[in-house]
A and B are shown apart, each in its own frame.
Chain A
Amino acid sequence: MTRSRVEAFPGDPPITADLAREHGLNDEELRRIRAMLGRDPSLTELGVFSALWSEHCSYKHSKPVLALFPTTGRHVVQGPGENAGVLSLGDGWAVAFKIESHNHPSAVEPYQGAATGAGGILRDVFTMGARPVALLNSLRFGPLSDAHNRYLFAGVVRGIGDYGNCVGVPTVGGDVDFAPCYSGNPLVNAMCVGLLREDDLIRAAASGVGNVLIALGSRTGRDGIHGASFASEELTEASEERRPQVQVGDPFTEKLLLEASLELIASGHIVAIQDMGAAGITSSSAEMAARGGVGVEMDTALVPTREPGMSPYEILLSESQERMLVVALPDRVDEVQAIAAKWELEATAIGRVTDDGMFRVRHGGRVVAEIPGRQLLEACPVYTPEAREDPEIAVLRRQTPSTPDPEPEEALIGLLGAPPVASKRWVYQQYDSTVQAGTVTGPGGDAAVVLVPGTKRGIALATDCNARYVFLDPYEGGKAAVAEAARNVACTGARPIGITNCLNFGNPERAEVYFQFREACRGIGDACRVLETPVTGGNVSFYNESPTGAIYPTPVIGMVGLLEDVSRTVESHFAATGDVIILLGATHGHLGGSSYWAHVLEEVVGSPPPVDLAAERRLVYLLVALAEDELLTGAHDLADGGLGIALAEAAAGPPYAPAGFGAAIDLQPIGAGLGTQQLLFGEDQGRALVMTRPENAGAVLARAAQAEVPAAVLGHVTDSDGTLELVLPEHTVRLAVGRIRDVFFGAIAAVMETAVVEVGG
């Protein structure tokens, strides 16, 4: 192949090791670049390497560990490596989905950081040819007693809402947790789910020498330059200065881009399309070329910009939002531009597919970058840092709280009103959860259920991660995150079929963090194998550290389940007086790492509950079978806060019902040898409450016995707006359901609506 003479752009500084380090490239990486090119890189090339060899784009610290995940299975149409994973739903339908982090931008600019997080993940899904039908969010903040945390929380929620609401994709679920480790480093993980006909699937592989690269959508500005590199370093006091690197979202343009992209894909005029996400034009063009085994040549002078005088370096690294890179057939450029014009968008030819495998960038007549394309993506060094558990955590695991237990009623009410456990109604009330008219079950239940239009089928969706468990025991915690997500989905009656994950960790170059990462992923992989939920993709977010330290390791699981008939969807609350309440799964009273210890006694200690994956699998399949046979009037997963919280939540009822239902519960039969706190708040895994009409109780118990799932009748549902009565061996707890509702639904609003909250945007 012929090599062009690569010229510096006027004003570029000379390339030094210091300059490379400022670009996040270490000396060894610079050495490799020089060896690859046989010369010094130009500044433009250094910028390109800086983006593509950042952790965010290259996965250089995570690749060997991600190989632990199972990625194949009978539903998998597209595994990791594309913009989103795709699972088959039967009858030609498929679901495309992915979760991604926008933590660092949200830490410095919560409104725009969260909004653009939603925007980016939407584009990842609709570039597969799927129409987005649901958004979910997994959020973590520091305690709401702190004004800055309230500011971040309010801004993130408003940013997610304003973006998703405007684009017209319902936000149907998610999870929110609060812990001191997230002060200064909140987590904002957005998941998007789309539906498509399998025939319409389009992959982002550039092919066909001579095909034309087209920039579609917004113009390129100076916002977000080096966003991918920013996401690959720790947050410090100086991060505030990164605010200009946070992009600004425009959901109206996103909506137009969505419609235009789906129309382009359906038109047959294009062969590939990809979001210009992290690292903008650079990563989208380089990745599409590598997948297609071709080269690309672009002219940055042709890229429409928001302001004159932008250098090729800036144009290549801009992360301006709402832009796509399209690969069109050469004789269809006019047709592509006509579709774009209909949606009031610009579409500009900026380059072409070549046969020499080079990633080549011109700026007018001058070649400013020329890098062998495959090596650009593949020659980045892969690191396997040392992994070693922090000995202090092993000490924590052996500890028990020294704080005395309060009275059980007081503890139950305290836990119900603790923001990590309390209803997130204040959050999801700000999200349009019913647009598209397909939401069968929205936020506030175990999992959301969305109809596949024109069929009886539905998809059930949930995100989960108990990060406290992962902190105390990464392997068991990783297993528990998958198991809880699977139980949540199964409680609606859906069979779990696959996951996406967002792996939020601290600095992987530290042995203690790398240990957490490796062990949590091992746990996730083992759980996914047993539960038959392959990993179809996701995102790794390292360097989640602020001056106060690293976050809890937080590998968020986004689970998809398949429901054969949405008319058999099971809700997660008490529904009718007289229904029998049955506990499925074994109770051992395991309090280590529990919400009770963390939020009532305020001690994060102990060993989290072990997860018996075979038992989880039996429970999940039993829940699905009971729902399919229409034996259930309700089902609710046991997780944070154990049986006491699960019963209180089921009694509280749906978020907008005028009242809940009481229940008469006797815990003595399952309580032999267990203390009051163990019974009420123990977080043994593999458990769920199911409710059934009295005439079906025998059938439910028989099916449980057949499935080898322990089952015990706990009592029955009493009056609407009645009392939750729990008889324990040494206590009887009585709480009016009205009070439960007030505390559970009102706790977060009480904090957020009384405090003065500044919100940007």
Chain B
Amino acid sequence: MRVAVVRFPGSNCDLDALRAAARAGADAFFVWHRERDLGQADAVLLPGGFAYGDYLRAGAIARFSPVMAAVEEHARAGGPVLGICNGFQVLCEAGLLPGALMRNAGLRFVSRPVAVRVEMTDTPFTSAYSKSAIIKLPVAHGEGRYVAAPSVLQVLEDEERVVLRYVGTNPNGSARDIAGIVNRERNVVGIMPHPERVADPAVGPTPGAGVFTSVVQCVELLGGGTA
């Protein structure tokens, strides 16, 4: 089971994501943004950070990097893709997920733990959780306010594509407390919180580990993991 962690210049949660995937049993490896193939990855992670500095708009430049063509192809073929934080922003910019992530409602960077409810467990990254489980994950972002046209939000709800939802505190003003969504085909997931930061038992509780065990199990169930 091979997991590619895409590294853009400015990615800074790349190593955290790689370690979390490896801890879940994956053969995890980095793919540099200039590469055009994903090294036969079964699943792809787009980690957090500030790709290309994010000076224009989060994810706006990253979507044009060579590796993204390969990521899109992998996604179209039904391969699991997870974007965390900046990775979520890149997936929206690339059109692989609907909507956009705007400046936080408070106009300040927000770093804190938040409670989120796992709304959907039929995605490759949440299958190891029980439905409606409430888990505590850290957020750390300046542009995490999820917005989309009202019709798009309605479709997301009707098709049960909201994967994570903030409970109690909405740290950024996201529409409908959305913390994460999945595409219609249910293989591309974007989330703002950082499960990879709470996945190492040496550091503390591991409510985020399930994201990585989910994808390892899903790929193996589908007969992947030949490598």
Interface centre among A253, A432, A436, A567 (most CB of B within 10 A): A432
> B138 an interface residue at 8 Å Cβ cutoff?
yes
Q: Separation in Å of the B198 CB from the closest CB of chain A?
A: 8
CB distance from B49 to the nearest CB of A (A): 6
Provided the pairs A252-B9, A252-B10 are in contact, do residues A434 and B202 lie with their beta carbons within 8 angstroms? no
Q: A161-B109, A166-B10, A252-B52 are in contact. Are A566 and B16 (CB under 8 A)?
A: no
Residues in A whose Cβ lies below 8 Å from that of B20: 437
B19, B113, B197, B204: the one contacting A435 at CB < 8 Å is: B197
Contact A451 B203 (CB under 8 A): yes
Q: Which of A143-151, A423-431, A493-501 contacts B (4 or more CB under 8 A)?
A: A423-431
For residue A168, CB closer than 8 A to chain B, the reply is yes
- For A658, what are the chain B residues with a Cβ–Cβ distance below 8 Å? 168
Complex alpha-carbon distance, A437 and B48, angstroms:
12
Question: Complex formed: what's the CA distance from A344 to B198 in Å?
Answer: 32
Q: Is the CB of A435 within 8 A of B140?
A: yes
- A655 CA to B111 CA in the complex, in Å? 12
Of residues 109 to 146 in B, which have CB atoms within 8 Å of A's CB atoms?
109-113, 138, 140, 142
Q: A251-B53, A252-B52 are in contact. Are A168 and B13 (CB under 8 A)?
A: yes
Interface size on B, residues (CB 8 A): 34
A119 to B19, CA, bound (A): 26
**A158 CB contacts on chain B under 8 angstroms:** 108-109
Q: Collect the chain B residues with CB atoms within 8 Å of residue A436's CB.
A: 15-16
Taking CB atoms, residues of chain B closer than 8 Å to A439 are 197, 203
Assess A434 versus B10: contact at CB under 8 Å? Given A168-B49, A451-B203. Answer: no
The answer to whether B111 touches A167 (Cβ under 8 A) is no
Contact B53–A437 (Cβ < 8 Å): no
C-alpha gap A507/B15 in the complex (Å): 46
Q: Is A256 in contact with B12, judged by CB distance below 8 angstroms? A: no
Beta-carbon contacts of A644-671 to B below 8 Å, as 1s and 0s?
Answer: 0000000000011010000000000000
A343 and B9 in contact (CB under 8 A), knowing A435-B140, A437-B19, A456-B202? yes
A166 touches B53 (CB 8 A): yes
CB distance from B92 to the nearest CB of A (A): 20
CB–CB A250/B53 < 8 A:
yes
- Of all chain A residues, the one with the shortest Cβ separation from B34 is A342
Q: Output the residue of A158, A566, A656 with the most chain B CB within 10 A.
A: A656
- Asked if residues B111 and A432 are in contact (CB atoms below 8 Å), the reply is yes
**Cβ contacts under 8 Å, A161 to chain B:** 109
**Among the interface residues A162, A166, A343, A440, which one has the most CB atoms of the partner chain B within 10 A?**
A166
Contact A566 B112 (CB under 8 A): no
- The docked-state distance in angstroms from the alpha carbon of A687 to that of B155 is 60
Given A166-B10, A251-B53: A434 and B140 interface contact (C-beta under 8 Å) = yes
Known contacts A437-B200, A439-B203, A451-B202: A256-B9 contact under CB 8 Å: yes
Residues of A251-282 whose CB lies within 8 A of B:
251-253, 255-256
Chain A interface residue count, Cβ-Cβ cutoff 8 angstroms: 35
Is B109 in contact with A432, judged by CB distance below 8 angstroms?
yes
Looking at the assembled complex, report how far the CB atom of A122 sits from the nearest CB atom of chain B, in whole angstroms: 13
**Complex contacts, A250 vs chain B, CB 8 Å:** 53
Q: Determine the residue in chain B with the shortest Cβ distance to A165.
A: B109
**Chain A residues in 8 Å Cβ range of B165:** none
Set A343, A431, A567: member contacting B111, Cβ < 8 A: A431
Q: Tell me whether A162 and B109 are in contact (CB under 8 A).
A: yes
| Assembled-state Cα–Cα distance A658/B112 (Å) | 13
Chain B: which residue is nearest A657 at the CB level? B113
| A-contact bits for B186-216, CB 8 A (1 contact / 0 none) | 0000000010111110111000000000000
Name the residue of chain B whose CB is nearest to the CB of A169: B12
Q: Is the CB of A168 within 8 A of B12?
A: yes
A285 at interface, CB cutoff 8 A:
no
Question: Is the pair B108, A430 in contact by a Cβ cutoff of 8 Å?
Answer: yes
- B166 on interface, CB distance cutoff 8 Å: no
Proximity bits, B3-17, A CB within 8 Å = 1, else 0: 000000110110110
Docked pose: A69 CA to B109 CA in angstroms: 40
Contacts of B142 in A (CB 8 A): 165
Question: A340 CB to closest chain B CB, in angstroms?
Answer: 13
The CA of A456 and the CA of B168, in the complex, are separated in Å by 34
Instruction: Report which residue of B16, B20, B48, B196 has the largest number of chain A beta carbons within 10 angstroms of its beta carbon.
Output: B16
Report whether B12 and A656 are in contact in the complex, using a CB–CB cutoff of 8 Å.
no
Q: A166-B53, A252-B55, A451-B202 are in contact. Are A433 and B9 (CB under 8 A)?
A: no
B12 x A434 contact (CB < 8 A): no
Cβ-based interface call for A438 (8 A): yes
CA distance A432 to B53 in the complex (A): 16
The 9 A-B residue pairs with the shortest CB-CB distance in the complex, in nearest-first order: A168-B12, A252-B53, A432-B140, A437-B16, A437-B197, A166-B50, A434-B138, A434-B197, A430-B109
Contact residues of A with B, CB < 8 Å? 158, 161-162, 165-168, 250-253, 255-256, 343-344, 428-440, 451, 456, 566-567, 655-656, 658
Besides A168-B49, A438-B200, A658-B168, 18 more A-B contacts (Cβ < 8 Å) are A165-B109, A165-B111, A166-B50, A252-B55, A255-B9, A255-B10, A255-B50, A430-B110, A431-B109, A432-B109, A433-B111, A435-B13, A435-B197, A436-B16, A437-B13, A437-B20, A439-B197, A567-B202
Pull 28 A–B residue pairs with CB atoms less than 8 Å apart, ordered by A: A158-B109, A166-B50, A166-B53, A167-B12, A168-B13, A251-B53, A252-B10, A252-B54, A255-B9, A256-B9, A428-B111, A429-B112, A430-B111, A433-B111, A434-B138, A434-B140, A435-B16, A436-B15, A437-B196, A437-B198, A437-B203, A439-B197, A439-B203, A440-B204, A456-B202, A566-B202, A566-B203, A655-B112
B binding-site residues for A, Cβ under 8 Å: 9-10, 12-13, 15-16, 19-20, 48-50, 52-55, 108-113, 138, 140, 142, 168, 194, 196-200, 202-204
